[in-house]
Structures are given as C-alpha cells and as structure tokens.
Structure 1
C-alpha cells in the first residue's frame, strides 16, 4: 500500500514539473511585439521637398516618414482632410484617404515617401494629416499634423467701380500676392448682349499690364481704364487674370454698368 502511494506522489510531482516547464517555455516563446514607431515625419511643398508644412493648390505634397517595426508592416494609411473650412463658389471639400500596400512598404523598417496631388478646386486653409501604420500582428501607430494649403496667387482688397459713365474712366484696384512672382496682369472687358445704335461703337477692351508688376511677389494693381464716349450703355463683363512666372493663373470676374 505504501508503495502505491509513493508511485502516486511520483506521478503527481512529474506532472507538476512538466506543466511548470511547459508554461515557462510558452512564455519564452511568446510572439508579442511592440507597435511600429514612426519618426522623422515631414511634409510640405512637393516640388522642393520642403518641410515648411505649406503646400499649394494644383501642386503636390511631399510626405515622408521613417518606420521602425519589429514585425512586417501590413498597411500604411494616409488621410488628409479640411480643418473647419467652408468651400466657396466652384470649390469642393477635399477628404483624401489612401491605403498603401506596396511591396516596398510591406517590410520591416520601411521608409514611407509619397507625393500627393492637391486639387485646384478646394478651399484654402488648414488641413489635418494623419499617417497610420499597422503591422501583421495588428499593432498600429498613428502620427498627425497640420498643413496650410494655399493658392499660388491670391487677390484681395478688391475695389472696382460698379458703375461708370461713358467718356470717363473705370477705377480698378486690388492687392496681388504671387509666390512665384507676377508675370503679367491681363484685363478683358466686353459687352454683355449689347447692340450699338447710331453714334455708338462696340467696345471690346483687352490689355496686358507688366510694367511695375513683373516679377514682384506682392503688388498693388491700381489702374484707371478709359471708357469710350461711344461705348453702348449697359452691362459689361470684366475678367482680370494674373499669371505668375510658372504659368499659374488666378482670375477675378465681375460686371460693370456703363451709363450714358
């Protein structure tokens, strides 16, 4: 009887030691790992690889980051969206989301580098950028920041006569900010469904202004445009076009009433 009890004790001790050793072995072989680390997150104007956190409509944004990952990266998600901006006429909200699963990113310690096109018809202002990195075990890390998206050319403080008597002149004035410098300013004035009568001559005005403005990054456009005494009275369509040294343009359209 004592021998049987001794055998039971031996079996119990053996089972306990086996379970303990297995548990330790399982802990040592655990596959848990840390989430990816994102560093050197930078972004800005694409053409110069700027890090000034400013980009321009119609251009692109350079975005780059170093990723340190203990496991293979499974996806990188980039999001860009407006920060409390209201679209104006002919503008649309821009809510950009793209998931990158390129083979060069599905690795350990990849470098993220992309150029994202910026639409021309979005509001200017502050946009939120988010970069989310997820590895094959589901661990994820996110970094975020803000970027100012602006126009290459901005027109402000616009003051243009709404009514002009023929035989006098039309006062036009506005401020121009052009990142790449002003190339020229063109003005187009044409009648809006007007038919000249006796003593009147159709007035269709076109002019290009360079002197005093060319290559400036900031300028006060201030001109007086003569309205012929023979111009038919009525509504005229006016288009101001500012072109910069890189060929980007910005237009401002309005109407004037020419009176007798």
Structure 2
C-alpha cells in the first residue's frame, strides 16, 4: 500500500514538472518586444507632422515607446535613395544611437531634433527608428520625409539679347519658407574690349525692400543698359537670402548688342 502511494506521488510530481516546462515553452513568462506608436516627424521649428523638412534647418522626431523590458538603445537612421547630387552638394546619411539615461527606462518617449545640412540633395529620405531592450528584443518603424530647398525659384524668364541704350526684362517667382530677406542682381562682363566712346558697365541692384519678409513674391524688373556699354556677353548672378541666412544663387547670360540703324 505504501509502495502504491509512493508511486502515485512520483507520478503527480512528474506531471507538475512537465506542466511547468510546458508553460515556459509556450512563452507564458516571456517579455514582449518593445512597441513603437505615434511615430511622427517633420519641420523642426514648427514641430510639424507633415513629413516635410528643409535644408539648413532641422527635423523633429517623436515616438512613444512601450517596453516591458528596460530599453537598451534607440537607433535612428536617415538616408536618401538614388538622389542626384548636384554641383556643390554632398550625399547625406545620418545614423545615431541614443543611450541617454532618460531613454533607458521601461516606457520612454523619444524626442529629438536632427540638423539638416544645407548642401545635400533635395528629395525623399528614408527614416528608420529601432528600439532594443536589455533582453535583446527589438522593434523598428519606418517612414519617409521629403527634404526641400528653403528657397525656390520658378517660372524664370529673361530676354536673351538687349540693345544698349534700352532695357531688358527679368521675371520669376520666389518661394521662401523662412521669408525673403534680400534679393540682389549683379550684371558684369569679362574682358570686353572698350571701344571709342564706350564706358565699362557693371550693374549691382538691391531689390530687397520690395520683397522683405514675404514668403511668396513675383520678381519683375527692367534693367537699363547704358548707350555707352561695350557690346558683348554679360554674366548675371541672382542672389536670394532668407531670414534664416540660407542663400539661393543662380546665374544666366545676356548679349548686349549695338542698335541697328
């Protein structure tokens, strides 16, 4: 009889051990991977969520993190996809691992501002946020942000030639998210021969007063060419500066001719 009770006790204990192992195998006590919610990003100065940012400014990023295990690291990556690199521009890839004490907790809120270089290509950039806890569980979220020029010029029109003693017209639209501060036009020639009765001509025009603090404006001006200006090709530089100090510069040419009789 004692032998039967001893055997029954052994069987019962074995069943309990098997049940406990089975619960562990089912992951009943496992810690879930972090959960990332409300991931938003956009123009830094206004904390915009429109997923647009501007060169020379910054992008703000924010997310709520729910983590059963203490957060170990938060990694952020921003990079472009096959963007054409123009003259004076460089490729931009941003990668940073955040391990500040304020993030190494159970349920942190991620909030950072990342500076955007002013000399990178405009276009679509890929954003990845990865959260890893102390047990090695990791979760990532992805998105895209459009990085644009803070100053844009469109609809450019200018005469190709002008007779000296008359004027030529220039017009274009300016867009400046940070408002226009300065609009300059510089006209000059290179190594033109100065004939009898002619005088070397350079023009430097400051049109800022008409456009100061506007975010959108139409530039429409006529520039007089002196009758004594040497004939030939003249180089024109347009410089637009916004209130944040960003500068947009572009160039063109015009031929000054002698009036026909």
Q: Verify same fold: TM over 0.5.
A: yes
- Tell me which moved more, 110-119 or 141-150: 141-150
The structure 2 residue matched to 1:96, chosen from 94, 97, 100, is: 94
Determine if contact 1:85/1:125 at 8 Å carries over to the other structure: yes
Q: Could you tell me how far 1:60 is from its partner in structure 2?
A: 0.4
Q: Could you tell me how far 1:148 is from its partner in structure 2?
A: 2.2
In structure 2, C-alpha distance between the alignment counterparts of 1:245 and 1:252, rounded to whole Å: 19
Q: Could you tell me how far 1:126 is from its partner in structure 2?
A: 2.7
The CA deviation string for residues 66-89 of structure 1, in whole angstroms up to 9 with x for no partner, is: 111011222212122225533333
Q: Could you tell me how far 1:208 is from its partner in structure 2?
A: 0.7
Q: Could you tell me how far 1:12 is from its partner in structure 2?
A: 6.1
User: CA 1:108/1:193 → structure 2, altered by over 3 Å: closer, same or farther?
Assistant: farther
Determine if contact 1:44/1:147 at 8 Å carries over to the other structure: yes
User: CA 1:16/1:92 → structure 2, altered by over 3 Å: closer, same or farther?
Assistant: farther
Which residue in the other structure is 1:35 paired with? Answer: 33
What secondary structure does 2:191 align onto? coil
Give yes or no for the alignment of 1:21 onto 2:16: yes
Which residue in the other structure is 1:203 paired with? Answer: 201
Determine if contact 1:192/1:234 at 8 Å carries over to the other structure: no
Superposition map of 1:148-159 within 5 A: 148-159=146-157
Unaligned 5+ segments in structure 2 are none
Give yes or no for the alignment of 1:238 onto 2:231: no
Q: Could you tell me how far 1:30 is from its partner in structure 2?
A: 6.3
In structure 1, C-alpha distance between the alignment counterparts of 2:49 and 2:220, rounded to whole Å: 36
User: CA 1:10/1:194 → structure 2, altered by over 3 Å: closer, same or farther?
Assistant: farther
Superposition map of 1:42-53 within 5 A: 42-53=40-51
- Tell me which moved more, 65-74 or 77-86: 77-86
Give the TM-score normalised by the residue count of structure 1.
0.85
The structure 2 residue matched to 1:168, chosen from 166, 177, 183, is: 166
Q: Could you tell me how far 1:248 is from its partner in structure 2?
A: 2.7
Q: Could you tell me how far 1:210 is from its partner in structure 2?
A: 3.4
Unaligned 5+ segments in structure 1 are none
In structure 2, C-alpha distance between the alignment counterparts of 1:246 and 1:109, rounded to whole Å: 37
Which residue in the other structure is 1:143 paired with? Answer: 141
Which residue in the other structure is 1:189 paired with? Answer: 187
Which residue in the other structure is 1:131 paired with? Answer: 129
